[in-house]
């Protein structure tokens, strides 16, 4: 069975689809058995594509970007091995929604996986910004991917040993 990772931001049109496609690119490149998707904490953009600025930044940097926004549902906790929040607000919302301690234990902040992140673990929302803000988010996501890949490799190797 595949290891399952989902990324969660506010509306699922900027940060989480960007993280999804960057991480998916690296998972596929390495041939890992990992399913990757994303969602938002709110319903505002359900059914919409990713923000055009997200798509543009992804494509300019060699990533794919097909996407339809959706809202994270409380009964989805059992679907995922790892739920990756993009900022502390999403982390709080997901933890409050989690049915138990086991589910809460599968929720992490993306930048926890970046050893150079320091104390600021939020990926800022670029929605009200410009192109540079979206590029900045991409850099933050890319910086966390190696550590996230290491974490997933360790988790999947533990599961194989069990």
33 in catalytic set: no
101 in catalytic set: no
Q: Which of 56, 125, 133, 153 is catalytic?
A: 125
14 in catalytic set: no
Distance CA 91, CA 106 (A): 11
Q: Which of 9, 51, 106, 108 is catalytic?
A: 9
List the structure tokens of 134: 């979206």
Helices (H), ranges, the chain: 15-30, 52-60, 88-97, 101-104, 131-161
Q: Are 38 and 54 in contact (CB under 8 A)?
A: no
Q: Which of 14, 15, 24, 51 is catalytic?
A: 15
Catalytic residues: 9, 15, 125
């Amino acid at each position: 069975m595949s290891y399952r990772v989902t990324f969660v931001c506010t509306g699922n049109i900027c940060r989480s689809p960007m993280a999804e496609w960057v991480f998916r690119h690296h998972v596929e490149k390495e041939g890992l058995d990992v399913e990757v998707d994303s969602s938002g904490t709110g319903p505002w953009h359900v059914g919409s594509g990713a923000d055009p600025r997200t798509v543009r930044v992804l494509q300019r940097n060699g990533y794919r970007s097909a996407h339809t926004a959706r809202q994270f549902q409380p009964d989805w906790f059992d679907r995922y091995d790892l739920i990756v929040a993009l900022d502390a607000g999403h982390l709080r919302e997901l933890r409050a929604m989690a049915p138990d301690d086991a589910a809460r234990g599968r929720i992490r902040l993306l930048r926890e996986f970046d050893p150079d992140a320091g104390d600021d673990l939020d990926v800022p929302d670029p929605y009200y910004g410009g192109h540079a803000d979206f590029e900045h988010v991409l850099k933050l996501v890319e910086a966390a991917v190696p550590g996230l890949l290491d974490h997933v490799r360790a988790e999947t190797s533990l599961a194989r040993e069990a």
